[in-house]
């Protein structure tokens, strides 16, 4: 069965960018990701550090939680090794980003009632693009979607979108949707890394226009695996609204 594992970034109300992103793959590719990810957590930095219960990108970058007293060199090296695990597993990555302020200003009235808030739009696009990827690149008959734990409202919206696609899509058949914790699900930890990296890049785009990614970690991931990233800027949101009104 195909699996898609998705996390959010920028969901706090003060964030300029909202993102849903993660990884997807066939069963054996996801098993490879889990196997070698678990090994890295059990023996971080080739056993120079105590084993980790969970990888969380924000904590790793800030050297807090389990990463307290880790140096920048150490955290960067761990991220490099985990990035290698993602690349070598053969999974693909997808992320959808949206400018929160511009969406809230431009998408109103009946159209917003259909399209929802920025996070809802990102979730819907993830379903659309990942199903399209499955249809184009795989032969698996079934697919599951797994999200990191969300608020009740966001979970309700995700389930509604899933139900709509489940009724319409025959192949792959959408078998299930679930919400879990990255504490237990290693695929969601990989999704967390992808979402965090794409969040940094999307913020750069929002501030400076479409520029090359600053972070070498993002460039390495994006250039060594099947990676799709989209961002809804003010200009693109306005074009969507103009089209909808016509």
Domains of the chain: 2-30+91-245 (3.30.420)
Q: How many CB atoms lie within 10 A of CB 35?
A: 12
Report yes or no: 70 and 63 within 8 Å, Cβ to Cβ.
yes
21 closest CA partner among 200, 156, 185? 200
Task: Supply the pLDDT for residue 153.
Answer: 84
pLDDT in tens, 163-198: 999 999 999 999 999 999 998 999 999 999 999 999
Task: Supply the pLDDT for residue 112.
Answer: 87
Task: Supply the pLDDT for residue 13.
Answer: 73
Write the DSSP string, 83-136: HHHHHHHT-EEEEEEEEHHHHHHHS-HHHHHHH-SHHHHHHHHHHHHHHHHHHH
197 closest CA partner among 67, 4, 7? 7
Q: List average pLDDT for each run of 10 residues in the chain, which is 246 residues long.
A: 94 87 97 98 94 96 96 97 98 97 92 87 95 96 95 89 96 96 95 97 92 94 95 93 86
pLDDT in tens, 127-164: 999 999 999 999 999 999 999 998 888 899 899 999 99
């Amino acid at each position: 069965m195909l699996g898609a594992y998705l996390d959010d970034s920028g969901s706090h109300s003060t964030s300029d960018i909202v993102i849903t992103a993660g990884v997807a793959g066939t069963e054996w590719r996801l098993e490879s990701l889990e196997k070698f990810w678990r090994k890295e957590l059990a023996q971080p930095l080739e056993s120079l550090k105590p084993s980790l219960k969970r990888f969380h990108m924000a904590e790793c970058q800030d050297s807090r939680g389990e990463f307290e007293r880790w140096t920048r060199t150490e955290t960067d090296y761990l991220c490099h090794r985990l990035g290698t695990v993602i690349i070598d597993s053969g999974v693909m990555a997808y992320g959808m980003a949206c400018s929160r302020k511009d969406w809230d200003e431009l998408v109103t009235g009946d159209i917003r009632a259909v399209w929802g808030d920025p996070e809802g739009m990102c979730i819907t696009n993830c379903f659309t693009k990942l199903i399209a990827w499955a249809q184009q690149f795989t032969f698996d008959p079934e697919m599951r979607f797994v999200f990191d734990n969300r608020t009740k409202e966001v979970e309700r919206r995700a389930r509604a979108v899933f139900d709509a696609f489940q009724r319409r899509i025959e192949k792959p058949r959408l078998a299930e949707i679930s919400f879990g914790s990255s504490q237990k699900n290693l695929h969601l930890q990989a999704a967390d890394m992808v979402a965090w990296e794409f969040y940094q890049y999307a913020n750069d785009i929002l501030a400076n226009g479409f520029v090359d990614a600053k972070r070498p970690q993002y460039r390495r991931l994006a250039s060594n695996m099947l990676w799709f990233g989209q961002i809804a800027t003010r200009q693109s949101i306005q074009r969507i609204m103009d089209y909808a009104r016509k």
